[in-house]
């Protein structure tokens, strides 16, 4: 132990001697410009060099070992994709009934005449003589398709006439035509709502709106279906103490008559809220144009709200107007903006001219025959009353809605199970009583959570006996199907 200690001591001593010698070495005592350079400066200088050298080196990184070609090949070989579609189950094999004549209020299925409640032919204009005439003339003059988008010679004079006619009818400054009802909403919304904008939307909106919102990449907040209290509290939360929100664009998106429930949005209340919290309103009038209001001008007329208060109005024309396509209407600035930046307008072939000409005629017919709307309203009241006491079913829709929406009184827990029961009822009604009704089937891509139901689309062309027969048959069929449960 002692020996080790003493040898260690001698080592330290010799080292310190060596250092002292090195510091006393003549070179370390050199005098530069009269300043003697002490030895430790030399050491510090050396240290500085070492530090600089280390700093100039890249920091330590474990060596990268990218996958070799062979490894990638193996990964590619091992990878097994899922099948393109899931396995086909029995329920996917559903085939809808095939119509053998026009989809008017009476149509033919399997050689049998049935009363049709599946067409949103609210004014009974399918097969109307005036519409057929204008359609024939347009087909003879323009052919069928327009062979190009609006920008590239796909704008035909009837398109411009139709846009002007719709704007005049609704009392707006301009309107824009889309070539398909479904694309109207999912093109219009992303043209206005951008990333970061706040959009407050009803949870019951149809897929077209959902898709539009998804494509817009805005911040989406859902409020409870047609619940104004819920809307107000969300608007309050979104704007209260949130200075950032004041700088963002803010929208409320609602449907006038909800496809998924038949409820009617209380527009007067929504307008009051929008003005209070300073939001813009986008309103889908697909199922209300030609239906609501004393002259069929839609929800704005129904709620006695001036149409200028609604910033953007869209609608599909495949309902009351008995044609196809859609339109958006509003101020000239709103419309002009879409002509340059709405994808479904810019990048799609324009509406076939004959359908635009049918739309013009349909609006004319609607304006000339106010009794159509009176008749439709009577029919809605009759059917609503007749269906209000079906055992096991309840009406979820508004008494004034042209869609009478019935759902099961007793919830079965899952959408699928409920839909199956309702489908059985619909099939039974069609087979036994020749009444054609449809259930609210839902796509897997659809995020709506409202319960399933049976839809009756009421038409002004339904006769009293049609309606009575429908109510009677549904009662019997429901009793029959529910008894078998």
Partner 1 sequence: MITIPYLTALTTYFSYGLLFAFGQLRDFFRRIFDWWSQSNLQDCFNRPISSPPDAWFDVVERISNDNNKTLKRTTRVNRCLNLGSYNYLGFAAADEYCTPRVIECLKKFSASTCSTRIDGGTTTLHAELEECVANFVGKPAAIVFGMGYVTNSAILPVLMGKGSLIISDSLNHNSIVNGARGSGATIRVFQHNTPSHLDKVLREQIADGQPRTHRPWKKIMVVVEGIYSMEGELCKLPEIISVCKKYKAYVYLDEAHSIGAVGKTGRGVCELLGVDTADVDIMMGTFTKSFGSCGGYITGSKELIQYLKYTCPAHLYATSISPPAAQQIISSIKVVLGEDGSSRGAQKLARIRENSNFFRSELQKMGFEVLGDNDSPVMPIMLYNPAKIPAFSRECLKRSVAVVTVAFPATPLLLARARICISAAHSREDLVKALEVLSTVGDMVGIKYFPAEPKKQQLEGDRVKLE
Could you tell me which stretch among 16-24, 52-60, 100-108, 305-313 binds partner 1 (CB under 8 A)? 100-108
Which among 263, 265, 280, 271 is positioned nearest to 306, based on CA atoms? 271
Q: Beta strands of 73-125 (E only): which ranges?
A: 106-109, 112-116
- Kindly state whether residue 140 participates in binding partner 1, applying the rule CB under 8 A: yes
Choose between 67 and 468: whose C-beta lies nearer to partner 1. Answer: 67
Helix axes 464-483, 415-433, angle to 10 degrees: 130
| Minimum separation from the CB atom of position 369 to partner 1 (A) | 18
| Minimum separation from the CB atom of position 420 to partner 1 (A) | 14
- In the list 9, 100, 308, 391, the residue contacting partner 1 (rule: CB under 8 A) is 100
CA distance 391 to 389: 6
> Within positions 154 to 173, which residues make up the interface with partner 1, using CB under 8 A?
154-157, 159-160
CA distance 379 to 377: 5
- The label of the residue with tokens 């006393």 reads 24
| Minimum separation from the CB atom of position 437 to partner 1 (A) | 9
> Within positions 357 to 396, which residues make up the interface with partner 1, using CB under 8 A?
358
Residues 294 and 373: beta-carbon distance below 8 Å: yes
> Within positions 305 to 364, which residues make up the interface with partner 1, using CB under 8 A?
316, 318-319, 322-324, 339, 343-344, 346-349, 351-352, 354-355, 358
| Minimum separation from the CB atom of position 54 to partner 1 (A) | 35
Choose between 141 and 409: whose C-beta lies nearer to partner 1. Answer: 141
CA distance 259 to 442: 12
> Within positions 249 to 288, which residues make up the interface with partner 1, using CB under 8 A?
259
Tokens of 285: 């009038």
Size of the site for partner 1 (CB under 8 A): 100
- In the list 17, 24, 44, 71, the residue contacting partner 1 (rule: CB under 8 A) is 71
| Minimum separation from the CB atom of position 444 to partner 1 (A) | 5
At residue 38's C-alpha, the angle toward residues 32 and 42, to 5°, is 90
> Within positions 178 to 237, which residues make up the interface with partner 1, using CB under 8 A?
179-183, 186, 206-208, 211, 214-215
Tokens of 104: 């008017």
Which among 302, 68, 346, 361 is positioned nearest to 183, based on CA atoms? 346
- In the list 33, 56, 64, 82, the residue contacting partner 1 (rule: CB under 8 A) is 82
List 254's β-bridge partners, or say none. 283
HSE-CB for 295 with a 13 A CA cutoff: 11
Choose between 137 and 410: whose C-beta lies nearer to partner 1. Answer: 137
| Minimum separation from the CB atom of position 180 to partner 1 (A) | 4
Tokens of 162: 């139709």
- Kindly state whether residue 296 participates in binding partner 1, applying the rule CB under 8 A: no
Residues 187 and 212: beta-carbon distance below 8 Å: yes
CB-based contacts of 295, cutoff 8 Å, min separation 6: 301, 367, 370, 373
- In the list 72, 168, 237, 368, the residue contacting partner 1 (rule: CB under 8 A) is 72
> Within positions 427 to 456, which residues make up the interface with partner 1, using CB under 8 A?
436, 438, 441-446, 455
Could you tell me which stretch among 5-13, 22-30, 96-104, 305-313 binds partner 1 (CB under 8 A)? 96-104
Residues 159 and 350: beta-carbon distance below 8 Å: yes
| Minimum separation from the CB atom of position 289 to partner 1 (A) | 13
Which among 424, 429, 484, 416 is positioned nearest to 456, based on CA atoms? 429
- Which x/- pattern, by CB under 8 A, does the window 108-137 give for partner 1? --------x-xxxx----xx---xx--xx-
Tokens of 277: 């919290």
Choose between 93 and 246: whose C-beta lies nearer to partner 1. Answer: 93
CA distances from 406 to 77, 109, 114, 118 (A): 53, 24, 20, 14
List 330's β-bridge partners, or say none. 174, 312
| Minimum separation from the CB atom of position 460 to partner 1 (A) | 13
- The label of the residue with tokens 């002259």 reads 295
Choose between 344 and 386: whose C-beta lies nearer to partner 1. Answer: 344
| Minimum separation from the CB atom of position 321 to partner 1 (A) | 9
> Within positions 41 to 70, which residues make up the interface with partner 1, using CB under 8 A?
67
């Amino acid at each position: 132990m002692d020996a080790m200690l003493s040898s260690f001591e001698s080592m330290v001593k010799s080292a310190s001697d060596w250092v002292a010698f090195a510091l006393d070495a003549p070179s370390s005592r050199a005098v530069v410009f009269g300043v003697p350079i002490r030895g430790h400066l030399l050491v510090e200088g050396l240290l500085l060099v070492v530090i600089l050298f280390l700093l100039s080196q890249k920091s330590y990184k474990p060596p990268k070992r990218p996958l070799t070609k062979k490894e990638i090949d193996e990964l590619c070989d091992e990878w097994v994709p899922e099948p393109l579609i899931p396995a086909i189950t029995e329920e996917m094999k559903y085939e809808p009934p095939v119509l053998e004549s026009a989809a008017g209020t009476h149509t033919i299925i399997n050689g049998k005449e049935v009363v049709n409640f599946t067409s949103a032919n609210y004014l009974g204009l399918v097969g109307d003589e005036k519409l057929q005439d204008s359609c024939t003339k347009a087909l003879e003059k323009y052919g069928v398709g327009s062979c190009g988008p609006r920008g590239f010679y796909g704008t035909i004079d009837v398109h411009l006439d139709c846009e002007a006619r719709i704007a005049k009818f609704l009392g707006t400054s301009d309107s824009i035509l889309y070539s398909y009802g479904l694309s109207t909403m999912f093109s219009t919304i992303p043209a206005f709502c951008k990333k970061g904008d706040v959009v407050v939307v009803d949870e019951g909106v149809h897929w077209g709106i959902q898709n539009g919102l998804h494509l817009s990449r805005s911040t989406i907040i859902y409020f409870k279906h047609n619940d104004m209290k819920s809307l107000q509290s969300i608007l309050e939360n979104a704007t209260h103490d949130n200075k950032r929100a004041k700088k963002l664009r803010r929208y409320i998106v609602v449907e006038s008559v909800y496809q998924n429930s038949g409820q009617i949005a209380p527009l007067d209340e929504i307008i009051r809220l929008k003005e209070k919290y300073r939001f813009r309103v986008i309103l889908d009038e697909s199922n209300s144009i030609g239906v609501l209001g004393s002259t069929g001008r839609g929800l704005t007329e129904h709620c006695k709200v001036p149409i200028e208060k609604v910033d953007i109005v869209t609608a599909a024309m495949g309902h009351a107007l008995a044609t196809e396509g859609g339109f958006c209407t509003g101020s000239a600035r709103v419309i002009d903006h879409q002509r340059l930046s709405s994808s479904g307008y810019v990048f799609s072939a324009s509406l076939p001219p004959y359908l635009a000409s049918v739309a013009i005629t349909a609006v004319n017919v609607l304006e000339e025959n106010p009794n159509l709307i009176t008749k439709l309203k009577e029919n809605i009241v009759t059917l609503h009353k007749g269906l209000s006491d079906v055992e096991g079913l309840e009406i979820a829709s508004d008494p004034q809605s042209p869609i009478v929406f019935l759902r099961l009184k007793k919830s079965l827990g899952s959408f699928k199970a409920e839909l199956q029961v309702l489908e059985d009822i619909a099939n039974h009604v069609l087979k036994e009583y020749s009444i054609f009704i449809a259930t609210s089937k839902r796509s897997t891509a659809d995020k709506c959570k409202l319960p399933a139901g049976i839809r009756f689309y009421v038409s002004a062309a339904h006769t009293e006996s049609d309606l009575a027969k429908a109510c009677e048959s549904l009662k019997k069929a429901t009793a029959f199907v529910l008894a078998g449960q």
